[in-house]
Amino acid sequence: MRSYTTSDLSRKSGDIIADALRWPVTITQRNKERLVVLSIEKYRQLISWSDPRRVGTLETMSDELFEKFKQAVADYEREGDET
């Protein structure tokens, strides 16, 4: 990931935009990461992954996640039996 400073924003805006179209770019201020600039496609992808309204089904769940789900259910059932 490329990194620029806040003072670079005005001097190197073209470079920042060009880099951000390829990969996320961090903007630092006083040596601390403050912002991330990324393409609209990457932003939409991230938003779609985090949308809590998205519906998933057991059929669309990955095998690995389904195994974790089954294990969590089994653990929950065992905890209920112990009380």
Number of structural domains (the chain) is 1
Six-digit token pair at 35?
């912002």
* 8 Å CB contact between 8 and 34: no
Mean pLDDT calculated for residue range 2-15: 95
Owning domain of residue 43? 2-82
Residue, of 1 and 10, whose pLDDT is higher: 10
CATH number of the structural domain spanning residue 12: 3.40.1620.10
On the CB side of 76, CA atoms within 13 Å amount to 6
Percent share of the chain, pLDDT over 90: 51
What pTM was estimated for this model as a whole?
0.57
